[in-house]
Structure 1
Amino acid sequence: IVDNKGRIVAVIAGQLHDPSYSAACMDAHDEIMQEGAAANFRKASSHRRGRFPAVNVGISYGKGQRVPLRLQNGALAAIVNRLVGSEALRIISRAPRLHRHYEEHLTALYGKLPQLRPNFPRSTFPCAAFNFGGSVWTFKHCDILNCPYGWCAITALGHFDHTRGAHLILWELKLFIQFPHAATTFIPSATLTHSNTPPAEGDSRTSFTQFLAGGILRWVDNGFHTEKEMAAQDPTAYAKMQKSKASWWDMGLGLLSMLDEILEPVV
């Protein structure tokens, strides 16, 4: 998906042309269903994104934290690493400047806090969410704490007819997209308002997402400090950082690839 400048703002990656991948994704769906049933979710079953239980794993920063912390990892990490780690890296590599921006900040983060580690060795994203319940579809929303110019990877899983339900809606772009099992899409989830239509009655759908909290980038850019700490310890650097924020949106757009950068010339 490109904007009127030819800038790639999202990628509908679809499915890998590999029957074993689709089968492995179905195994992941079945595993998520089993884990969800065993967890006996109650309080976490309804939130602003939808009426389904969701569990985040990985590195979190926000809500008053002084430093990024690791959320408790899930039992599904091994199977999900097989499913989406290499695919996430392959797709986000279509935006090499964005990929490099992520890698530079995360390398600095892991160097400063070596107790932190990525969820999956081959994935660019430090945090992930498992969406349980068997009838997963989201309300109209933006993920406002994610990196505003970065991409979020969303993988649909389950036994459902994607022509009858579970479509992805990108509201500002007025797009209504079929989103089948084992397909992955990459969108700027903090910027584009998005939702799903409900799966058809009797269908079973879960999903898995990977993302990067914008606060992690800010903490690294602040010299591994909160803004309050930076203001107190180095007022000059803090004032410079505040002034630079006016250009961050242009900087973020500049990290995205132009369509003609990735298309091979036609001979």
Structure 2
Amino acid sequence: MSLIIDDQDQSIQYSSGWERAGSDREFNHTTTASSTQGATARLAFLGTRISVFGTISIRPEVAESQYSIDDGDPVTFQGATTAQGPDTYHQLFFRSPELSDGPHILTVTNIGTENVLWLDYFLVELPEADRGRLATATITVTSARPRETVVATSLSVITVSIPEGTSEAAKLAAQGSSSANAGVIAGGVIGAICFVLLAFLAICMINRRLRRPTNAYAGPPLGTVILPPESFSRQGNASPFGGFGPAPSMHMSQASLSGSSGFRSPHR
């Protein structure tokens, strides 16, 4: 597993005598340059190996720099191009031997004065067993893959663009980093989708309960007869028989009353 740290990452401590620069063909479009002899850059990292990549500008003079791990013996690099040749991008300046698994400090020192030292990025290698330690590391590391693809680690996310003409070492390192983190990306995306769906369902259930009426109309009492409005007279007649013909006659003759009851009228 490999991690790329950009030259302008906050974990790198630069002395005086450095300037920020960059072009479209450099990693993250940035570099950090120095023409001051003795200028240093220090980087604390966790890993078993570290490599330094940079740019060599068009000058006949040699760009010289030294690299040491944990204040050990320095290793000198000399890089030069011809006056007619193009700038060299993603050039490997230094590759450490295999280190013990743990924290280390890399020190870069500019020892040249004729040509500019251009630092582009650092490549840190981690063993497979140390992937879970990224979350507790005290330094900031970022991972990358080529062609403007986003790759996530447990610490950060970075977008990387490696232009055409990149050295094979940088390409292989970036590809190895991307394949190692594919599972992390898939898990994060699936988890985010599940969270959004659960939140949406919870909101729908709450809204449904809030809209439910508490005193719903249950209809008229059992046995109630509902008459249509046309059954009532438009002239103000409130008779319950309006609209259905004359009301039944309630008149009965006295003869009928006397005959049916068995009593005689006292006036006959």
Instruction: Answer yes or no: same fold by TM over 0.5.
Output: no
Normalized per residue, the structure richer in strand is: 2
Structure of larger gyration radius? 2
- Structure with bigger RCO (C-alpha 8 Å, 6+ apart): 1
Q: What TM-score results when the alignment is normalised by the length of structure 2?
A: 0.29
Structure (1/2) with the larger helix percentage: 1
